[in-house]
Structure 1
Amino acid sequence: MKVIYDLKNIDFNRIKELLEKKEIVVYPTDTVYGVGGLITSEEAIKKIYQAKERSYKSPIIALISSVDKIEEIAYINEKNREPIENLIEKFWPGGLTIILKKKEFVPDILTAEGDTIGIRMPNLDIALKIIESVGGVLPTTSANISGETTPRSYDEVSEKFRERVGILIDGGKSPIGEESTIIDMSNEPKIVRVGAIPVEEIEKVIGKI
């Protein structure tokens, strides 16, 4: 049975129950619409990959509901701690994903067998509440079949994709409407993807990359 909510009738307790039963959810974030599932469930993570028709060689990031969740799932390189903290202070919550070394319990399927994980705290209340409902960490990627346009609103999530997901949340348009910028801070700083946060703004905070 498919469960569909809008912002007027959303039931966070029910969403929590369904996620804990390994369902996956399409929901709005501040950047674009995402699809997420329980971090402790390999079955749920596989459902995300299958819904997207995504290669298991492509990692999925984790969205968090508060900064203190970072070191529950990742290690902060001590030489980069100050610049990482400065980036968080400037750009979180918001459109910057930071890659760090993952902790051992994070499933390898989530990180494409790699030893790092991308982490972001979104700047949208409904997203934060959904993430918080399952413990503050929710693996999430864009809610589209690989190769399709990334959805900036619920209406842009394809019917084919919706059919593959157990929980759908219609939250209208995402405020930013652009994917996050990704920076790898697990070693030497490196921009992986340019998105919502311009590189020039990042360099004002941590220097030339």
Structure 2
Amino acid sequence: MEMSLEKIGTRLKKGELIIYPTDTVYGVGGVLKEDTLKKIYEAKTRSFSSPLIALVNSLDKVDEIAIISDEHREKINKLIERFWPGGLTIILKKRENVPAIMVSNGETVGVRMPNHKLALDIIESAGGILATTSANISGEATPSSFVEISPIFKERVDIVIDGGKCPIGTASTIIDMSKSKISILREGSISKEEIENIIGKI
């Protein structure tokens, strides 16, 4: 990597955007500031009605932005123990410090810890949390390797990191644990069956 993590962190904290590899697919990310988040939506030509998720580098960071309900705490802890770091995004009630634009004015936020050393180092350099979504213009295929990212999209961000191919190459599974009824919103790299093996029938 040509740029040091310290330099990347400094630039991200100033509000710049980064394309970077994760375990699942390539992401475009920025810090949790309204102006930075707006730039992510503009780069993707994405509707503000589609929320971004938060990638974290440690469990402590989850508590900074989300509330784990007592009702599902045991199940959430089991899922985190089994599937984090990895391809599971957990939807939780958001804390007040999460900008409304990031979650489409909703009450919840998706959180994930990627199983990818470079991604975790980049997230840590920015303060431990990066608002992230897939590194593509809305409607394009989601890139699982650097060569699949469109040149036009690369030009719309400030920092571009070539990490080759993503090890999993499939988007994360999204599970909503913010309500009494648990539901899987997207089945991705982790199957419903694998989740039910850990927390029982959904």
Question: Structure 1 residue 77: deviation in Å?
Answer: 0.8
From 26, 31, 38, the equivalent of 1:38 is 31
TM-score with structure 1 length normalisation? 0.95
**Equivalent residue runs for 1:166-177 within 5 Å:** 166-177=158-169
Deviation by residue 1:29-86 (Cα, 9 ceiling, x = unmatched): 00000000011x2111011000000000000000000112111100001010000000
Tell me the distance in 2 between the aligned counterparts of 1:58 and 1:64. 20
Deviation by residue 1:169-195 (Cα, 9 ceiling, x = unmatched): 000000000000000001121000010
Tell me the distance in 1 between the aligned counterparts of 2:3 and 2:78. 35
The reply on whether 1:195 has 2:188 as its aligned counterpart is yes
From 134, 145, 150, the equivalent of 2:137 is 145
Query: Runs of 4+ in structure 1 displaced over 3 angstroms?
Result: none
Q: Which residue of 2 aligns with 1:18?
A: 11
TM-score with structure 2 length normalisation? 0.98
Q: Which residue of 1 aligns with 2:173?
A: 181
Question: Structure 1 residue 10: deviation in Å?
Answer: 3.6
- Give the match's secondary structure for 2:120: helix
Q: Percent identity?
A: 60
Cα-Cα RMSD? 0.7
From 108, 130, 141, the equivalent of 1:116 is 108
Tell me the distance in 2 between the aligned counterparts of 1:113 and 1:124. 30
The reply on whether 1:75 has 2:75 as its aligned counterpart is no
Tell me the distance in 1 between the aligned counterparts of 2:76 and 2:60. 13
**Equivalent residue runs for 1:2-17 within 5 Å:** 7=1, 9-17=2-10
- Give the match's secondary structure for 2:27: strand
Name the aligned partner's letter for residue 144 of structure 2: R
Question: Structure 1 residue 135: deviation in Å?
Answer: 1.4
From 45, 66, 70, the equivalent of 2:58 is 66
- Give the match's secondary structure for 2:161: strand
